[in-house]
């Protein structure tokens, strides 16, 4: 692990995004802003799974510092292309950042959607898992949104 003992404690936050492309046969089953399967409500379950994963990031990623997150929020929405957009924001007051926690939360939420919907179809794509923004520490970062024509 990287030695962080001399770094100052600062408020840190990171947001990561994952996009899940579902076939229309699954999207068309949506009711009341969620997809319901035999396993239960997909998006609600994905949110819980993502938060749980973010809290356990150091158990999953070698050499990650174990962190007690102050907050972890996952938001799931549908974009104009009818893709599922998962945003995970993690925050902490610490000597190290929470980028890996945000990325892990978004990734596991996406994997949970796949797992819960695979009974309908395996034509599900998880794409564009990436850091969207981070604050605190040495440098801030904000993704420049790319517009396609």
Is 128 noted as a catalytic residue in this protein? no
Of 33, 115, 123, 140, the active-site residue reads 115
Counting DSSP H helices and E strands in the chain, the numbers are 4, 7
Q: Which tokens sit at 111?
A: 């994997």
Nearest CA to 54 out of 36, 72, 77 is that of: 72
Q: Which tokens sit at 48?
A: 């819980």
Nearest CA to 75 out of 44, 115, 121, 41 is that of: 44
Measured CA to CA, the distance from residue 104 to residue 133 in angstroms comes to 14
* DSSP reduced 3-state for 42: helix
Catalogue the active-site residues. 115
């Amino acid at each position: 692990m990287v030695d962080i003992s001399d770094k100052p404690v600062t408020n840190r936050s990171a947001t990561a995004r994952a996009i899940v492309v579902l076939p229309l046969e699954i999207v068309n089953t949506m009711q009341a802003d969620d997809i319901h399967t035999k396993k239960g409500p997909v998006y609600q379950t994905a949110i819980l799974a993502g938060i749980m994963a973010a809290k356990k990031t150091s158990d999953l990623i070698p050499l990650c510092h174990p962190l007690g997150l102050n907050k972890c929020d996952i938001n799931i929405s549908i974009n104009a292309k009818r893709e599922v957009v998962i945003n995970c924001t993690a925050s902490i007051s610490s000597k190290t950042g929470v980028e890996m926690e945000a990325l892990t939360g978004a990734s596991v939420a996406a994997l949970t959607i796949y797992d819960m919907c695979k009974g309908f179809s395996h034509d599900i794509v998880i794409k564009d898992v990436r850091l969207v923004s981070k604050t605190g520490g040495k440098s801030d970062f904000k993704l420049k949104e790319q517009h396609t024509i």
